[in-house]
């Protein structure tokens, strides 16, 4: 992309130089008496831009500025290399995050637990004793829940236990 911009800038610079030379040539032609019939017009045009050669403008001829097919054809990238085989033991499934506790609702003899799935940010309501994904949900107290899955246990608290709270030792 930088190369295309560089080419575009060089083409625009050449066009600006050409325009400046044409303006200067037109101004000087108006000041001079008309050329004699023996002076060819091609020589006057060639001398207006002596530093600019037709061979230097190959990009302009090959890719005109306002042509629909201005960009050169793209070369297809090489095919990707064969993937390196990975042993199945090396691939680990990402461990799902345990849900976060959003609320506990006590309704008579049953307790509802409001959890937020950390993987999808969805809120879910389950009864104490039911399961949520791989987790078995058990309400421990009015402000904490125990989650158990595959030998792993996590205690979720609604509030951070403070030193003043009885039983938070």
> Domains of the chain: which residue ranges?
2-62, 100-157
Average pLDDT over residues 117-123: 86
Between 57 and 143, the more confident residue is 143
- Residue 83's pLDDT is 78
Q: What is the pLDDT of residue 169?
A: 46
User: Class of the 100-157 domain?
Assistant: mainly beta
3-state secondary structure of 31: helix
Share of the chain above pLDDT 90, in %: 2
Burial of 137 (0-12, 13-18, 19+ CB in 10 A): buried
pTM of the model: 0.41
């Amino acid at each position: 992309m930088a190369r295309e911009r560089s080419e575009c800038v060089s083409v625009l610079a050449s066009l600006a130089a050409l325009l400046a030379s044409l303006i200067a040539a037109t101004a000087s032609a108006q000041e001079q008496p008309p050329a004699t019939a023996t002076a060819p017009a091609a020589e006057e045009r060639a001398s207006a831009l002596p530093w600019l050669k037709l061979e230097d403008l190959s990009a302009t001829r090959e890719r005109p500025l306002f042509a629909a097919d201005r960009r050169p054809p793209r070369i297809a990238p090489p095919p990707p290399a064969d993937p390196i085989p990975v042993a199945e033991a090396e691939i680990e499934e990402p461990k799902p995050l345990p849900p976060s506790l959003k609320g506990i609702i006590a309704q008579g003899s049953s307790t509802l637990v409001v959890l937020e799935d950390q993987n999808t940010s969805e809120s879910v309501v389950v009864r104490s004793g039911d399961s949520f994904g791989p987790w078995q949900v058990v309400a421990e107290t009015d402000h904490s829940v125990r989650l158990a899955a595959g030998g792993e246990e996590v205690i979720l608290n609604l509030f951070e236990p403070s030193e003043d709270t009885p039983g938070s030792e």
